Chains A and B, each alone.
Chain A
Amino acid sequence: MTGFGVALKQAFSQINRNKMMTTASLFSITAILLVLGVFFLIVVNINNMAEGIKQDFDKIQVYLLDEVAPQQSEEMMAQIRGFSGVDTVSYLPREEALDQWKVKWGENADLLDRMPTNPLPNSIIIMVTNLDYANAIVEQVVPMEGIEQVNYSQDAVDKLLRITRIIQIVSLIIILALVAISILVVSNTIKLTVLAREREIVIMRYIGATNWFIRGPFLLEGIIIGAIAAVIGSVAVGAIYYYVVGHFGMDLALFLPNGFVPFDFMVANLLIIFLSLGICVGACGSIISMRRFLER
C-alpha cells in the first residue's frame, strides 16, 4: 500500500512537472471523447427509434372478407396460433377498428362520422415474437380462405434492419479508430515524461526494481489523465444532450414513437463508458510508451 502511495505521489509530480503536455493531451482526449460522445448520443437514439419503429412492425393485420362468419374466423385464428413465431392472435371487429381510427384522427374524427358506412373490414391481429418470423407467417396466412388482404410491409422492415446494422458497424469502426488515436495521444505524452526520467529509469533497472515498480507512476499518470478527460467529456456531452433534448424533445416526440432516450439514463451510461474507456486508454498508452525501457 505504501508502494502505491509513493507511485501516486510520483504520478502527480510528473503531471505537475509536465503541465503543458498533460494539458495538451487532456484536451486532445477530451475532444476525442466529445466526438465519441456525440456519436454515441446519435447511435443510441437511432437504435432507440429503430426499436420503436420495429414495435409497429411486429404486428400483422389480416383483413377478412365480409362474408367470413365469426365461426370461421375462430377456426382461422386457432390455425394461426399453431404457426411458429406467433405471440398472440386477436380479433378486431370493424366497429372497434373505427373507434381506434377516431382516436388517432383526434379533432378530425368527425370526418369519419360523416361516412355513410364503416369502410373498415373485420380483421385478425397477429403479434409476432420476433421480426425474423414475420415473413414466414405472412406466407402461411396469405393462401388461407376468406382473406381480403394481409397488411404487413416487409420492405420497410428489411430496410430498417439493414440500416440499423450498418449504423452499428460504422459506429464500431469509428469508435475503435478514435480509441486508437487517443491511446496514441496518451502514449506520446507519457513518452515525454519517460524520456525526462530516463536516467532514473536506467538506475532503477540496474539496481533491480521490478517492471511494475518502474511502471507504476507512469501507469497512474495515464490513468489520471484518462479519468479526468472522461469526467470533462461526460459533462460536456451531457450539456449538449441536455440542450438538444430541451429544445427539440417535444417536436421529436410527435413523430417518433419513443422520443429521445432519457437524459439521466444517457448521462449515467456515458460517464461509466467514458471512465472505463479513459482509464483503459490511459493505461494502454503508458504501457506502450514504456515498453522499450523495460525488461522484455
Chain B
Amino acid sequence: MLLSEMRSERTENERDGMIEYKNITKRYGKNIGVEDVNIRIEDGEFIFLVGPSGSGKSTFVKLLLKLIDADKGGILYNGYDVTKLTPRKIPGHRRSMGIVFQDFSLLPKKTIYENVAFAMEIIQRPKRTIERQVPQVLELVGVADSARKYPHEISIGEQQRVAIARAIMNNPKVLIADEPTGNLDPETGWEIMRLLDQINRRGTTVLMVTHSREIVNAMSKRVVAIKDGRLVRDELGGFYHPEEDDEPAPSPEGALPL
C-alpha cells in the first residue's frame, strides 16, 4: 500500500514529457529574448502562448528545442536538463518533439508524401515502416487525396496540415506549433485548431503560439501570456487580453465572435 503510493508519487513528478523552465534567461546582445521565466507544463496539457510581437514567444519555444542556448537557468524535461544537452544528445531530444514552424515550411520539390516520409527517413526509420505509416498520418490530418501533389498545388491550409502530419509522424511526446494558424483565413485556422486539439486528446502535450483572439477565447485552455520576455499571466481556461496584442483593442462584439 505504502509502496504503491510512493511509486505513484514518483511517477507524478517524473512523468515523461513533463516540462519545467527554471529561471530561464536568454538575451540577444542587448535585446531581451526571455527574462527569468519559470513555468511547469504537465504531460498531456494544451497551452496557448500569447503576447505581442517581439515579446519572446518564439524564443521560449526555441529554447525548449535547443535551437538556441539559454544564458541562465535550466529546462527540465524527460529527466534531463535541456540547456545542458551535448551536441550528440540534441538529435535524440528533438526526435521526441514535433514542430510546426513558419520558417520550417514544406520542401517545394518534394511531393506531399515525400515531405512527410522525409521526416522518417531523416531519423533513419526502416523503409517498410515509412511506407506503412505515411498514408495513415496523411489520412489522419485529412490530406490523403493530395499525397502525390506538390506543395504549390494545394491550399495553404492543406499545406499546414501536411506540416502537422510531418510533425506527428514520429509520435512525439510534445507538439510545438509556432503560429500554425498565422496566415490562414479564420475558417481554415479553425480546422487546424481542431486538428491540434484532436492530437492533444490522443495524449500529446501541445504548446501553441498564437495571435488569434477568437481561438484562444473559444478553446478555454491554459493560457500563458508573455510580455517583454517575462511571463505576465498563466491561467487555466484563460482568455486573450487585448493589451497582450499589438493591434488596437477590438470592439466588444469583435472580442466574442462565437
Q: Which residues of A contact B (CB under 8 A)?
A: 3, 6, 199-200, 202-211, 213, 295-296
Q: Which one, A199, A205, A211, contacts B107 given CB within 8 A? A: A199
A199 and chain B: residue at smallest CB distance: B107
Q: Which one, B67, B105, B124, contacts A199 given CB within 8 A? A: B105
| A residues less than 8 Å from B124 (CB atoms) | 3, 213
A203 touches B90 (CB 8 A): no
In the complex, whether B87 has a CB less than 8 A from a CB of chain A is: yes
A131 to B104, CA, bound (A): 70
B103 touches A202 (CB 8 A): yes
> B92, B95, B105, B123: which has the most chain A beta carbons within 10 Å?
B123
B98 and chain A: residue at smallest CB distance: A207
Q: How far is the CB of B31 from chain A (nearest CB, A)?
A: 21
In the complex, whether B139 has a CB less than 8 A from a CB of chain A is: no
B87 touches A202 (CB 8 A): no
A203 and chain B: residue at smallest CB distance: B104
Q: Which one, A202, A209, A295, A296, contacts B123 given CB within 8 A? A: A209
A206 to B101, CA, bound (A): 10
A-B pairs under 8 A by CB, number: 50
A211 to B90, CA, bound (A): 10
A208 to B124, CA, bound (A): 10
CB-CB under 8 A for A213 and B87, given A206-B65, A206-B94, A206-B99: no
Against A, the Cβ 8 Å flags (1 = close, 0 = not) of B28-71 are 00000000000000000000000000000000000001010000
4 A-B pairs besides A204-B122, A206-B94, A208-B93 with CB distance below 8 A are A206-B101, A207-B170, A208-B90, A213-B122
| Size category, B interface | 20 to 34
Which B residues, 93 to 135, have Cβ-Cβ distances below 8 Å to chain A? 93-95, 99, 101, 103-105, 107, 118-119, 121-124
In the complex, whether B91 has a CB less than 8 A from a CB of chain A is: yes
A6 to B123, CA, bound (A): 13
A-B contact pairs, 18 of them (CB 8 A): A3-B124, A199-B105, A200-B107, A203-B104, A204-B122, A206-B99, A206-B104, A207-B95, A207-B122, A207-B123, A207-B170, A208-B90, A208-B93, A208-B94, A208-B123, A209-B122, A211-B87, A295-B90
Q: How far is the CB of A23 from chain B (nearest CB, A)?
A: 23
A197 and chain B: residue at smallest CB distance: B107
A200 to B166, CA, bound (A): 13
A3 and chain B: residue at smallest CB distance: B124
| A residues less than 8 Å from B95 (CB atoms) | 207-208
> A202, A203, A210, A296: which has the most chain B beta carbons within 10 Å?
A203
| B residues less than 8 Å from A203 (CB atoms) | 104, 107, 118-119, 122
B120 and chain A: residue at smallest CB distance: A207
B90 and chain A: residue at smallest CB distance: A295
B91 touches A210 (CB 8 A): yes
